[in-house]
Structure 1
Amino acid sequence: MSSPRPPVTLRATRSVLRGLARLPAPVIRAVAGRPRRVDGYTLRGDVQAALRLLEVSPGSDAAELTPEQWRAEMETEAWLFGHRPHVASVRDAAVPGPGGDIPVRVYNPRPDRPAPGVVVYFHGGGFVSGSLDTVDPVCRFLARYSGCVVVSVDYRLAPEHAFPCAVEDAVAAFRHVRDHLGDYAAPDAPVAVMGDSAGGNLAAVVCHRTVEDEAGGPDLQVLLTPVVDWSRKARSYTLFAQGYYLTEATMDWYSHHYLREPEQAGHPDASPLLARHLGGLPPAYVLVAAFDVLRDEGLAYAARLEEAGVPVTLRVDEDGTHGDINAMGLSRASRDLVIEVSEAVRDLLVRR
């Protein structure tokens, strides 16, 4: 679970970024430049300043790199931007999957008392990158502020394991936790599925795939800036094609590596927004970022869930971009957002 000490240059870069975040607001605004306003939303100054720095950094766009290079970049960014609070118990384990054992990391904030629930978490990274380490900061915050046991899932990645391998691993991991709940919490504890970006896609698909299981599907789905439709590009793709961290070119690159055939974009296991029926799915918490290519499809999915009678809590991160939840080491606003989401997960599971 521990990584080698980063080189001096990376440690210096992190110091600069975190120092920037602590500057007075007028100074941050001067660095950020003229405020960006779109659809009535204004991008937060610290986010805009960080984006300006990323724009001049080499290797900041996946479309310019190989999968191996982008995975290394994601690990670096997680170290640069993340913050890792203490959690009482963190252990690595594995659960059985269709392609062999699936690595998981289990976070238990209070081993001495019953948890209000278990959260099965799927990391982001476009199905090509991401790992237990890249999502470690978010899972630590989630465990600490929700009080839940968190099971982070290291599903197989494309292009080595293209669609539907990630889906099959995600479904298998959820079913294992559900069927062995006593290994993680009380046997009757509620179970949520949760994920960011690509992980939000997997959390949504797990709900579809298990809704008719005899043992039942998840009790809650938490979708953070999810990708839910590979078949078309909504208006937000045009608005935020570049310059807002996740670019249109990166999404095209992810799609190229994840989907073996273009026709797979229309499969509901890839694009849950295209599923014919959404009735009977568990209550949903959906987070979308105002400045994100995925914003409009996330809003559309929340609307379809509501139309199907699914209780939905919609949260719009009005001044943030895709990946805002991963910048806790740089931004107080990002930390507050993750804490808010974590507390909402706890409350929704208890309320169920």
Structure 2
Amino acid sequence: MASLVEMVPPSVSGRVLRSVFALPEPVKRLIVGAPVRRDGQRLALDAQLLLLMMRLEGERRLGGAGVEQAREGLARTKALLPKVPERPVATREIDAGGVPARLYTPKGLADGSPLLVFYHGGGWVIGDIDTHDTVCRYLAVHADVRVLTVEYRLAPEHPYPAAPDDALTAYGYAVEHAAELGADPSAIAVGGDSAGGNLAAVVGLLAERTPAFALLFYPATDFTVRRRSRELFAEGFYLTDDDMVWFSDHYCPRERRAEVKASPMLADDLSGFPATYLVTAGFDPLRDEGEEFARRLEKAGVRVALRRQEDLIHGFANTWSLGGRALEALSEAAGALRTGLYAGPRGRN
């Protein structure tokens, strides 16, 4: 039997959520209570309010339930936040070498623009093109690029290495068919969030043609080591440590987790990786492995901008339509992508 929460249409829950976020800050502080501090950081009021609203709505863990229930849960979250940028964006479905994909083209964008190949998050088990539709639209509009978002195969039906294989295939298609996509073949970036950031990192390392830029949101980079942030933020901040165990166990056999296609951090040579903007969230179990990957890239001579949004939680990019700190952080990332592609080493102007 459906729960009371599931009986409430997402459109109604979404209106309530947006109404609460529109309240004056002193009122929101009264609702959520005292600030949350951990590891020398203070959680953003918006993030604290979102976590409270999720609990009141009967938040389900990202992982841990049945696979279909987990997928339905993330799809409902997307339905709560349907806002899109004001600038129209045309979309069309693409067969990217046998991998389904969707191309986003902002209105008025000239042919020969840069292109971002984007991989959605969801622990390699949940999520799809639609759950990350608004993120792709935002990046397309505010970075002034085309976006090709990839529907790679999900575990457990298609375990590792199906996802990175699809990621590499779709990127290769984008390079080979750039003109058909309206893109400049010398200005193709890769990007993604969480599991998608992992796949983008794999492509940055293993693709035959190195991407022009990498945009990594709180990426998973190493299956083999549990770093301090996995303990510090194990519970209570949306993505949990138990979720990561559940995702990992569904996705990749333990005996293969040290392979570069699974753990890009472990590559012997990172020097050929593209220039990168890597953003982490302060209250995120994946924070430390993302930041260590950035440091290793820098040590290998890669140009890296590492940005910790220390007051935010995992998944903030998907909540940009609520405004506040999540919108600021995604706007900064879009600006980095635009700069990296239009003013990067390839001399675009």
**TM-score interval (norm. to shorter):** over 0.9
Aligned counterpart, 2:218: 225
Query: What's the counterpart of residue 91 of structure 1?
Result: 92
Q: What does residue 304 of structure 2 align with?
A: 312
Measured after TM superposition, the shift of residue 53 of structure 1 is 2.6
For residues 115 and 246 of structure 1, what CA distance do their matches in structure 2 show?
38
Q: 2:339 aligns with which of 323, 338, 347?
A: 347
How far apart are 1:166 and its partner, in Å? 0.2
Q: Alignment partner of 2:340: what SS?
A: helix
Deviation (angstroms), 1:330? 2.0
Instruction: Give CA-to-partner distance per residue, 1:219-247, whole Å, 9 cap, x none.
Output: 11111000001112110011100100000
- In the other structure, the counterpart of 2:148 is 151
Is the 8 Å Cα contact of residues 105 and 140 (structure 2) preserved in structure 1? yes
Letter in 2 for 1:34: A
Question: 1:139 & 1:186 partners in 2: Cα distance?
Answer: 16
Instruction: Report the Cα distance in structure 2 between the residues aligned to 1:302 and 1:239, rounded to whole angstroms.
Output: 20
Cα RMSD (Å): 1.6
User: Residue by residue, what CA displacement relative to the aligned partner does 1:69-125 show, whole Å, maximum 9, x if unpaired?
Assistant: 1111111101213522243311122212xxxx2111101114552354000000000
Q: Deviations over 1:120-163 (max 9, x none)?
A: 00000000011110010000000101110100000000000000
Q: Which residue of 2 aligns with 1:36?
A: 36
Q: For residues 45 and 15 of structure 1, what CA distance do their matches in structure 2 show?
A: 19
- Secondary structure, counterpart of 2:160 in structure 1: coil
Length-normalised TM-score, structure 1: 0.92
The alpha-carbon distance between structure 1 residues 150 and 186, as it changes in their structure 2 partners (threshold 3 A), is closer
Give the drift of 1:7: 6.9
Task: Look up the match of 1:249.
Answer: 242
- 1:104 and 2:101 are equivalent in the alignment: yes
Does 200-209 or 27-36 show the bigger shift? 27-36
Paired residues of 1:246 and 1:322 also in contact (CA < 8 A): yes
The AA in structure 2 aligned to 1:60 is R
Separation in 1, partners of 2:63, 2:8: 27
- Matched residue SS, 2:321: coil
Q: 1:136-285 counterparts in 2 under 5 A?
A: 136-210=133-207, 213=208, 216-259=209-252, 261-285=253-277
Deviation at 1:29? 1.2
- Residue 186 of structure 2 contacts residue 212 of structure 2 at CA under 8 Å; is this kept in 1? no
Contact 2:102–2:149, Cα closer than 8 Å, also in 1: yes
From 273, 295, 308, the equivalent of 1:303 is: 295
Gaps of 5+ in 1: 1-5
Distance of aligned partners of 1:186 and 1:297 in 2 relative to their CA distance in 1, 3 Å threshold: closer
Give the Cα separation in 1 of the matches to 2:47 and 2:176.
42
Structure 1 counterpart of 2:48, one-letter code = Q
| 1:181 and 1:187 in contact (8 A); partners too | yes
Shift of 1:48: 0.6
Answer whether contact 1:324 1:334 (CA < 8 A) is retained: yes
Match of 1:123 in 2: 120
- Whether the 8 Å contact between 2:112 and 2:184 is mirrored in structure 1 is no
Identity of aligned residues (%): 38
Deviations 1:246-289 (A, max 9, x none): 00011011011001x21222111111111111011111110000
Q: Which range moved further: 323-332 or 302-311?
A: 323-332
**Counterpart residue identity of residue 181, structure 2:** Y
The amino acid that maps onto 1:249 is: D
Call closer, same or farther: CA 1:128–1:163 in 2, change over 3 Å. Answer: same
| 8 Å Cα contact 1:82-1:326 kept in structure 2 | no
CA distance 1:150–1:256, change in 2 (3 Å): same
If the length of structure 2 is used for normalisation, what is the TM-score? 0.93
One-letter identity of the residue aligned with 1:87: P
Secondary structure at 2:257 match in 1 = helix
Contact 2:146/2:183 (CA < 8 Å) preserved in 1?
Answer: no
What residue is the counterpart of 2:3 in the other structure? none
Letter in 2 for 1:94: D
Quick one: structure 1 residues 46 and 193, their matched pair in 2 at CA, closer, same or farther if it must change by over 3 Å? same
Number of equivalenced pairs: 338
Conserved? CA contact 1:167–1:202, under 8 Å:
yes
